[in-house]
Amino acid sequence: MYLAGQSEAATAIFDRYVARLIALARRRIGSKLGRRVDAEDIVQSAYRSFFVHAGNDEYLLNKAGDLWRLLASITLHKLYGQIEKHTAAKRSLNREDPTDLATAAAKTPEPSAEEVVAIIEELHLVIQELPPEERLVLMASLQGQENPEISRSLNKSERTVRRLLANARRKVEQRLSQSDSTDDVFRRPEREPEAPLLYSDYVLEQLLGSGGMGKVYRARVKGTQQTVAVKALHKSRQSDQRAVAQFVKEAQLLTRLHHQNIVRVAGLGRFPGGGYFMVMDYIDGIDLQSQLDVQPFSIQAALKIISNVADAIGYAHAQGIIHCDLKPGNILQDKQGNVRVTDFGFAFLIAGDAATSGNHIGGTRGFIAPEILRGLNLPAPTTDIYSLGALLWNLVTGRLPEKPFTHHSGKKEQKAVARIVSRCLFDDPRERYQTITELQQALMALE
């Protein structure tokens, strides 16, 4: 719920665990450091860290108890950092201050009922991860049984019982007192994406264009006369993990898509310095925005373009992909009039389990659907249908549609276009065309 943008989920996560986390921190601080280390501040800092990383979908929680275990580990990591900070200044060559974690724990006053609940829950989660034999021996010991009794009940030698008990206690102690960044256990594995294309196989010949994110070059495949386009992030963006992830996702998506109206991507490669590049079909033409800067399109030309774009987007929807950033600058037209959709950098995945990960929602104001702009809904086919309506009106008039959309021209053809555009641009997605097929039928009737 939190990843889906529901703000009440953050409140629920905070309220559910804050008291137990504060209790956990207090019992680890001890009385001597209690005046200088505030458990509530520690927990607030832990929550801030958690929500930052959780908001980027960096954690992978698989089973019951993982969320508590993760929050507890972040809290302990923050706490031990503060304890280290406050005790380091008191150490010297002649005298080691006795205020370490073990001493602090030993000096902790009798726990409250709330703290006992926190202790029991934490201990229970740790014990569940022990091997079965170690877990049985430890549980029996915690229930007050002596080693000979445990030995008889489990039909094990006392030596084996002592070994199992020592192993279990060591693991529990390590788990409860670890001071490294244990939240890394829950991090999503950051596997390097495959980038098999070799930079040495291409010769960059000309810079075709540069935007806020990257550059596109015309290039030649060595040893052949084949011309391709090479797209790369700006050097300043190569260290931006989100920008890199968005770039890699776009390349991976386009490698999967095979449609005559979508720019084909051959794959990913890496520069000698480590940055990624993608190799695409070279389109000998210009984008629609460059043509609009000169003059609008005729209605017939605009309808033909939108029909081709709709074909491409309908195909993408069938693959579970929403483009999310349809605009004139992302539509290319070659010298023969063929249309290609490009720039799937903000594409949203709705297929399988992909809708829960790796989706950074974006778009361009004027073309992006209002429910996405306000964060009210996740992208859906109706998201691209809104953008197609705005794109059609932009191509015909050279202007973005006003909100609310009205049309006062006396031209019969523009009124017919406006009826289609108007339905695409409803604020309520349920009132728009629901599928690309519906929109295409309306366009065919107009043609």
The contacts of residue 19 (CB under 8 Å, 6+ apart) are 114
Rounded-to-integer distance, Cα 423 and Cα 421, Å: 5
DSSP-based three-state secondary structure for 6: coil
Rounded-to-integer distance, Cα 172 and Cα 138, Å: 10
For CA atoms 328, 334, 339, 343, the dihedral sign is negative
The contacts of residue 27 (CB under 8 Å, 6+ apart) are 105, 108, 111, 115, 118, 119
User: Contact at 8 Å (CB) between 396 and 414?
Assistant: yes
User: Contact at 8 Å (CB) between 50 and 71?
Assistant: yes
Rounded-to-integer distance, Cα 409 and Cα 396, Å: 12
Rounded-to-integer distance, Cα 271 and Cα 99, Å: 51
Rounded-to-integer distance, Cα 166 and Cα 161, Å: 8
Rounded-to-integer distance, Cα 97 and Cα 300, Å: 84
Rounded-to-integer distance, Cα 423 and Cα 434, Å: 10
Q: Which tokens sit at 288?
A: 């629609």
**Closest among 145, 171, 144 to 158, alpha carbons compared:** 145
**Closest among 418, 406, 423, 278 to 345, alpha carbons compared:** 278
For every residue of 317-353, which 3-state class applies, written as one string?
HHCCEECCCCCHHHEEEECCCCEEECCCCCCEECCCC
Does the active-site annotation cover 428?
no
How many Å from the N-terminal Cα to the C-terminal Cα in the chain?
44
Q: Can you say how many angstroms the Cα of residue 359 is from the centroid of all Cα atoms in its chain?
A: 5
Q: Can you say how many angstroms the Cα of residue 346 is from the centroid of all Cα atoms in its chain?
A: 12
User: Contact at 8 Å (CB) between 260 and 314?
Assistant: no
Q: Which tokens sit at 148?
A: 């000979």
User: Which of 183, 311, 325, 384 is labelled catalytic?
Assistant: 325
Q: E strand or H helix at 425, and its extent? A: none
| C-beta atoms surrounding 117 within 10 Å | 14
Rounded-to-integer distance, Cα 158 and Cα 148, Å: 6
So which residues are the catalytic ones? 325
